[in-house]
């Protein structure tokens, strides 16, 4: 035992290996996780490589949902030319829900071809996204008869293909990030935030929804609103999204080239006295070992709670089945059910009574809150489960406010006042920002469980999104609980 310990403490030169850089600021403090003690000491990559990698990861994440997000924000333009008119959002909700079949395809791929690696599914998702969006540009307005009625078959079919690709991206892109240190996971979610923000910015530049209310006539009635034409067509909008998807696919290829030069992520140990202790590294004291274990194994119960129990043959499985990991996955499911299913269904009902400006501000600033939350999570992480639940409940409070406004539409409180506009916009920003922060931090904690934990996180995201969409379809599209107002018509007057 003593000889084995002495062998662990031999210098690297004695083993015939080059001595890694261990000066402060050169190797150890840049290895792989800045949130805790370094688990390995190797030569740090140049700062330019790290910055470039963060940029490529963000662009890679941008391609996950930019297609479906872009179709949603372009609906006010395409509904004017498609026969489904304003029933199209209901069709789109169903198609996105059917897109979860992509999860089954990815699962079958993992079962039937376990030795093919994870790059092939990622490339398949990216190729499907690029082709679907490229075909949507010239074909979106094509109409075909179905059962004697005209329908936008091309638009709906291509939307389903894009929904399949977007839903599959969560269970293919996220596991790939297990090869990178934890900070890059936050850059990925920053890119996912851009996938919602960039289409909104494009839609604003396009001039979606611009109108002018005519002056009142002598008897006090208003004429029909005058809608201004868009600055560029829907086809040009879809071509711009195609360029974003091509950029995301190119970023993934760049990541594959940079991957060998990056420090490895913290490894999840399967045996041994101390997690993350490598040959040639000095043994840490009890406090340091405890900190390292909490950083590398955030899914595991503390050693003091599992002492005296029979160790699991699969520590990763044990971590995923622990109470802490179940709670983290539950938070991920709930926050995604709200942000991807429940709240988008009521955004127009809660904002449009306050005017088009309030609606556009809520959409754009709410989308901007996502990348801002990712920036915040890079510097400030709430690792306490109680703290994360508290942040989630605070987001639920603001979500309940906008839900109440949607139920009271078209005459919610403070309608026609600046205070009402400010409250609804700020509520949307805080609601989406808080939920985005929870999603990023939870996913960062799950990163310590390796690929299986990130695969479970992707599944929780999709299950939550599906549950939220299914829960909101009956009240929004069947029972019409929410009522919308009309442009240039005061429906709340005496």
- Give pLDDT tens digits for 426-436: 999 999 999 99
Query: How many CB atoms neighbour CB 208 within 10 A?
Result: 20
Phi, psi of 22 (to 5 degrees): -125, 10
Task: Round to the nearest angstrom and report the end-to-end CA distance of the chain.
Answer: 89
Element (H, E) at 146: strand 144-146
pLDDT at position 35: 43
Q: 302 CB contacts (<8 Å, ≥6 apart)?
A: 294
Q: Contact 245/67 with Cβ under 8 angstroms?
A: yes
pLDDT at 156: 92
Among residues 491, 479, 342, the alpha carbon closest in space to that of 412 is found at 491
CA dist., res. 288 & res. 39, Å (int): 11
The predicted structure's pLDDT at residue 330: 93
Task: At 407, list the tokens.
Answer: 């139920």
Per the document, the length of the chain is 494
Burial of residue 112, with CB atoms counted within 10 A of its CB: 0-12 exposed, 13-18 middle, 19 or more buried? exposed
Structure tokens at 268: 């999840």
* CB-CB neighbours of 426 under 10 Å: 15
The CA-atom distances, in angstroms, between 457 and each of 51, 192, 423, 431, 449 are 26, 15, 33, 21, 10
Residue-level pLDDT at 385: 92
Please give the pLDDT value at position 222.
64
Residues contacting residue 35 through CB under 8 Å, at least 6 positions apart: 182, 295, 381
Query: Do residues 370 and 433 make contact, with C-beta atoms less than 8 angstroms apart?
Result: yes
Greatest Cα pair distance in the chain? 101
* Alpha-carbon radius of gyration of the chain: 25
Report pLDDT digits (tens) over 328-355: 999 999 999 998 888 888 888 888 888 8
Distance of CA 264 to the CA centre of its chain: 24
At residue 469, the pLDDT reads 82
Per-block average pLDDT, block size 10, for the chain (494 residues)? 45 42 41 42 67 93 92 85 78 80 79 75 94 94 87 92 90 86 87 89 85 72 75 93 96 89 57 35 43 43 41 45 86 91 86 84 86 85 91 96 92 90 94 93 84 84 85 81 76 69
Q: What is the rounded CA–CA span in Å between residue 318 and residue 324?
A: 11
User: How far apart (Å, rounded) are the C-alpha atoms in residues 396 and 334?
Assistant: 10
CA pair distance 97, 99, nearest whole angstrom: 5
């Amino acid at each position: 035992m003593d000889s084995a310990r002495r062998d662990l403490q031999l210098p690297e030169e004695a083993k015939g290996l080059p001595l890694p850089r261990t000066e402060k600021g050169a190797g150890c403090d840049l290895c792989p996780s800045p949130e805790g003690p370094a688990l390995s000491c190797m030569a740090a990559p140049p700062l330019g490589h790290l910055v470039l990698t963060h940029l490529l990861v963000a662009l890679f994440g941008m391609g996950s949902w930019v297609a479906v997000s872009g179709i949603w924000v372009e609906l006010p333009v395409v509904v004017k030319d498609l026969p489904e008119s304003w029933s199209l959002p209901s069709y789109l909700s169903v198609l996105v829900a059917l897109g979860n079949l992509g999860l089954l395809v990815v699962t079958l791929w993992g079962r039937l071809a376990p030795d093919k690696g994870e790059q092939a599914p990622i490339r398949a998702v990216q190729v499907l996204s690029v082709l679907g969006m490229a075909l949507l540009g010239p074909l979106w307005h094509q109409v075909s008869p179905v059962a004697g009625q005209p329908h936008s078959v091309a638009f709906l079919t291509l939307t389903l293909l894009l929904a399949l690709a977007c839903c599959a991206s969560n269970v293919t892109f996220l596991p790939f990030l297990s090869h990178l240190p934890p900070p890059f996971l936050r850059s990925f979610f920053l890119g996912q935030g851009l996938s919602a923000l960039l289409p909104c910015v494009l839609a604003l530049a396009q001039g979606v929804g611009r109108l002018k209310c005519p002056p009142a006539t002598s008897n006090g009635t208003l004429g029909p609103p005058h809608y201004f034409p868009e600055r560029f067509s829907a086809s040009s909008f879809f071509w711009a999204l195609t360029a974003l998807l091509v950029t995301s696919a190119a970023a993934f290829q760049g990541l594959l080239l940079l991957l060998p030069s990056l420090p490895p992520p913290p490894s999840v140990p399967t045996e041994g006295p101390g997690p993350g202790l490598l040959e040639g590294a000095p043994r840490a004291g009890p406090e340091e070992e405890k900190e390292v274990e909490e950083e590398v194994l955030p899914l595991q119960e503390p050693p003091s709670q599992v002492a005296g129990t029979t160790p699991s043959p699969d520590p990763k499985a044990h971590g995923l089945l622990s109470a802490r990991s179940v709670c983290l996955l539950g938070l991920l499911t709930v926050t995604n059910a709200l942000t991807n299913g429940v709240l988008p269904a009521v955004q127009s009902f809660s904002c449009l009574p306050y005017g088009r400006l309030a609606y556009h501000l809520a959409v754009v600033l709410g989308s901007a809150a996502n990348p801002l939350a990712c920036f915040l999570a890079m510097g400030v992480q709430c690792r306490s489960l109680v703290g994360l639940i508290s942040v989630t409940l605070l987001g639920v409070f603001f979500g309940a406010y906008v839900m109440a406004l949607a139920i009271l539409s078209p005459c919610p409180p403070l309608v026609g006042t600046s205070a009402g506009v400010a409250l609804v916009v700020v509520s949307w920003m805080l609601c989406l920002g808080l939920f985005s922060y929870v999603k990023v931090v939870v996913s960062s904690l799950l990163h310590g469980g390796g690929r299986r934990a990130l695969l479970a996180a992707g599944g929780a995201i999709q299950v939550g999104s599906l549950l939220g969409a299914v829960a909101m379809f009956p009240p929004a599209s069947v029972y019409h609980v929410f009522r919308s107002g009309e442009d240039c018509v005061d429906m709340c007057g005496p």
